[in-house]
Chains A and B, each alone.
Chain A
Amino acid sequence: MARGTAAGPRAVLAYLIRRLFAAAVMLVVIILVVFGIFFLVPRWAGVDPATMFVGKQADPAAIEAVRQKLGLADPIFVQVWEFFKGLFAGRTYAAGGDVTECAAPCFGYSFRNEQAIWPVLTDRFPVTLALALGAAVLWLIFGVAAGVLSALKRGSLWDRGAMVIALGGVSLPIYFTGLLSLAIFSYGLGWLDAQYVPIEESFTGWLGGMILPWITLAFLYAAMYARITRATMLEVLGEDYIRTARAKGLREPVVIGKHAMRSTMTPILTMLGMDLGALIGGAILTETTFSLPGLGAAVLKAISDKDLPVILGVTLITSLAVIVANLLVDLLYAVIDPRVRLS
């Protein structure tokens, strides 16, 4: 009668290896697609990719040099191969007597800022990560709490008020709430400096600078999470096993906090994984509004500068973040929900 027991460590490992392999394949596909967009499409459109890489009012000599450096005259598969090789073995760009080393992992080189992309990404990644994680903690706490309360007090004034605020939070754009919070708390009341300070310079300064961005970003997501939590909680409260829990004589807080929350958190964690993955790709509006030097601000700047290698690098990092987040969510899901088989 037994239909197998919970997944053992070996099953988990096998599953992990399978998923990692799939993730790697996915990444390769994404690289090929992105590569195609940046190198092939311009060529079909009759635009010389080299001019796009130089970025500014280009001297013909400079364009020729970039063409040489990037090997744009080579067959496309050679270029792709060079790019992949660069990821693992590093790359050397040489032209006109100028040699530029790009150490592995070489995600390309910005000829606009004369910088390898990878250090730029690693420099900016922690800012975005801190923004996303800090905001996630806030929105999880407040969003889920508000959603649970709304579900338990369904139809009450609290429920209606919370849901109206949540609707506002979902509909108001970041640049509006962001500028509003800046105008009130930073310029107006002067409570917070709201200016980014690297954490290694001053922890309190860093904290002070991150609070408004966290709150602004968390407000948007807390609203979304409150709505989802409320709906899920209401559904779960109607489940038979909640009635069973009560029939056992469990206290109501345990029924809600343990039995109902366990089921409610499953879709929320799934969402969290996706949202974090996407945010790590760049919370462009939040970072721009608060002048945070994160990936989002970098990619926006790169877009306005037509600094293609940076755009390409951030695109790849974003894809990577989303894939990793997906993988984590799936693994987490298997931990939370024993019905999910790792197969």
Chain B
Amino acid sequence: MGNHSDGSPNHSGTVATAGQNEVEKFQDPGIPPHRLRLADTDPKAAKRAERQVAILFGSSVVGTVIFLVAYFAIDLGPDSTIATIRLQNALLGIGTAFAMLGIGTGIVHWAKALMPDHEVSEERHAIRTEEDRQAAVRIVDDIVEETGIKRRPLIRNTLLGAVALAPLPALAVFGDLGPRPDDKLAHTMWAPQEGKLKRLTRDPDGTPIKASDVTIGSAFHVIPEGLNELHEGKLNEKAKAVVLLMRLNPESLKPSAGREDWSYNGIVAYSKICTHVGCPVALYEQQTHHLLCPCHQSTFDLTQECKVIFGPASRPLPQLPIAVDAEGYLVATSDFKEPVGPSYWERDEHERNINS
């Protein structure tokens, strides 16, 4: 950019300095002369344009007819198939498109080809004139004077106070939008009920799973026993309780202290709800032992107790402690030892409460 300010106005392509704005400018030559269209000079062309416009309007009528025929003649009765719906949808669409485009293109063609196309210039007016401003100021002054609000500060202050407080009921009235969270997020259905451990059952049919069913490399999508029998809040419970059950070679699991008895013969169960923002982390790669969330690509390593190895999640997936009951079915020995799903402000507090 070295020569940008060399100030030589004759050197084409370079730049002049401050004085440039005062240097003479080109005169505005005004609106270019109007050029006549074919239809302006040739009556045949005008006639042709007129016919084209009429044809376009006519095609709109055809479109309307297509729509009505498609609506009434195509039956969506019991024998209809997807192809019937596809046909009707296409015909309704074509009909509408013709009906609308016919009118639209017809009008525009009419405007372009036959209506006068002289460009005109109109003056702009000041958005606010000084005269108006002064008049407005006088009016406002009069109004303020007549209310006497300046002379009576008591009125002003009490009014301001009242107006400031008045919206509070309007906010308070939304207090019943939802219940208090309390520690609802900290517990799931997996907690043993009356001493009975919950079985792991298949999603969606709810049949229990035997440890011997889970072969190496397989992945079971699991819901707690009794979930399907819930009448209320089934999805709420499911949203916290879904679990992914997998079996690895027991050697590749290296349980940390306190988790040694959370798995059974290489079978492990982890919460399926992503610790990022809660999508189901359901993509299990059986050779790499990675779990991938399809929403934001957080990747968890099963062999490292679902530690985050990629993506936006920050916390490992919670593990569900499991064992086998007398009949050989897999059961959860307790609830999760931490709240599942996305983090929230009170989460750490809840986790401490669970473990104390």
Judge: A and B partners, yes or no: no
| Residues of A that sit less than 8 Å from B by CB | none
